[in-house]
Amino acid sequence: MQAALARAAARKARDLTRRKSVLENTTLPGKLADCSIKDPAACELYLVEGDSAGGSAKQARDRSFQAILPLRGKIINVEKARINKMLSNTEIQAIITAIGTSLADEFDLAGARYHKIIIMTDADVDGAHIRTLILTFLFRNMVELIEAGYVYVAQPPLYRISHKRQEYYAFNDQQLEQVLDRVGRNGASIQRFKGLGEMNPEQLWETTMNPNTRTLLQVTVDDATIADEIFTTLMGDKVEPRREFIEANARYVRNLDV
């Protein structure tokens, strides 16, 4: 029993040391392309899915107020992970350091380096999953950012329609049909973007990053109790509640990517 207690105490000390070193790290991530303006109220941080899209975003951005942090792959599901495992994840470390507020009990909203944190992922199922993982992390560890209105979701287009040397963009199938009905189907060329990386910097800027033309969805927590239950059900480690939720709501699915 004494040996077991000693091992538990040593493990706790290691976890605490690791947690403290991560939270006190003030060196910005190497892959962060920061902006030149230092006023947080005027600055934006884009959390971008993948290096390919990150490269396009870095070329497309306005360097004065837009920062880009590419994230490799899918970040860890924090709903299932212990805090020491979460904080050892490279992508989580990069997000924490870039935002600058620390997290959990040590969270300080005044330390936020950006007042717009924009999640920009592909307009497909994988992109939606990555967006959900990031939102889960923010909701569980930096919910004050959401409550302050600092968190947004970018809306990249799904289609580009070319017709008579004019270009139009559609964000879903319904908008695609509306554009085709308006401009005519004869001679129309349709491109479906598989990912952000398929857009050139000019297209990405005009459709998704230009403050004058983009569409951003602000993330809010209208009911913290309901939000907490949803995150626990859908992202937690218990399978049965998630299966029951899927069985009860499967009939309402409208856009299923199989």
Task: Please indicate whether residue 34 is annotated as part of the active site.
Answer: no
Question: Mapping DSSP to helix (H, G, I), strand (E, B) and coil, where does residue 68 land?
Answer: strand
Tokens 């396009």, residue?
56
Task: Please indicate whether residue 49 is annotated as part of the active site.
Answer: yes
| Active-site residue, selected from the candidate residues 126, 147, 198, 228 | 126
Other beta carbons within 10 angstroms of residue 27's beta carbon come to 6
| Active-site residue, selected from the candidate residues 15, 124, 198, 228 | 124
Cβ atoms of residues 236 and 88 within 8 Å: no
- Distances in whole angstroms, Cα of residue 254 to Cα of each of 25, 49, 58, 103: 44, 25, 34, 36
Residue type, 156: P
| Active-site residue, selected from the candidate residues 34, 44, 49, 91 | 49
Task: Please indicate whether residue 126 is annotated as part of the active site.
Answer: yes
| Active-site residue, selected from the candidate residues 44, 79, 91, 122 | 122
| Secondary structure in 3-state letters for 93-110 | HHHHHHHCCCCHHHCCHH
Task: Please indicate whether residue 222 is annotated as part of the active site.
Answer: no
Q: What is the pairing mode between strands 66-71 and 44-49?
A: parallel
Cite the active site residues: 49, 122, 124, 126
